[in-house]
Structure 1
Amino acid sequence: MSEKRVVGLLRQTEGFDVHQAFAEHARAIYGFALNSVRDAAMAEDCVQETFVRAWRSRGSYSSSRGSERSWLFAIARNVVVDEIRARARRPAPMTDDRIEVASAAVAEADAIDDRITLYSGLAQLSQEHRDVIVAVQLEGRTYQQLHERSGVPVATLRTRMYYGLKALRETLGEEPR
């Protein structure tokens, strides 16, 4: 049996094609990791580790339990959290400047955790809902500006914001279903 045939049969039986998943989701996961860890090399490592873990646990993936994207982002969130914790454990010599920076780092770690949670929740929304939330809530655009840029009526944008925020609250566990 040829190697291509074996690879094709493996992909069919596994239910998860790591090559296709990488092609479809690697950029989004890299953006998520970069926003979380604020270091390009570390973000690349996080993407690589995400797909290694996904490949190792491909037998546990089931499309009936959720989308491939959600599954990969859940793995990516765990990888990013592990990396941030590992970075925090690495000892560094303390100087007067480092003491001031360390106290600021504690506050930043809390902000990073919040940011990871937010990005993880946003990744699970539809593109239309995510675009409106990001533009209005995070970038500070008005509905009118967004209407002029996208051509979508203001009333539709407001409806997308309402349902998008509602879905985000449910995803983050802040609102009962």
Structure 2
Amino acid sequence: MATPPTTTTCSDLLGVIMREHRDGLVSYAERMLGDHGLAEDIVQETIIRAWRNMDRLLGMEGSVKGWLFTVTRHLVVDWVRKPHRRKEVVGGTYHDPPSGTEHTEAVHHIMVAKPALNRLSPEHRAVLVHLYLCDRTIKETADILGVPAGTVKSRQHNALRKLRGTFPAEALA
């Protein structure tokens, strides 16, 4: 029977987890989600679960790092599968996936748009994502990002101006 962990041992391990694994976990979650703030929330929940399972982690023969990344991956998958998330992504109604040429055209647009969006600054990209992909108003976007509405309008204008040079004319019609 394993001896119960002491407070010092738990806090030491939690400190090691935070120092050595937090940044990697955030990067991992952000790559899957595309949202730094949400990735931070997922990693916070991972750390809470590590704290709750400290006795298991202290007596573990395998990799603590592996356990942390597995928990993070599961939390991301759970978040993506939540019904509220699906409604937010597809507008609350079920849509059949596009077929044939519609699908090919949609894939082409994604392949062109994603690199173009990645060339924008994170601030400009966030504004476009909230306004166009999440269908939010300027005021809602400003509240979420914690900036004035005028800043959202300015970032939108500048981002769209930069993107105009990226896409062929027929894609903007």
State which structure, 1 or 2, has the greater radius of gyration over its C-alpha atoms.
2
Compute the TM-score of the two structures, normalised by the length of structure 2.
Answer: 0.44
User: Relative contact order (alpha carbons < 8 A, sep ≥ 6): 1 or 2 greater?
Assistant: 1
Compute the TM-score of the two structures, normalised by the length of structure 1.
Answer: 0.44
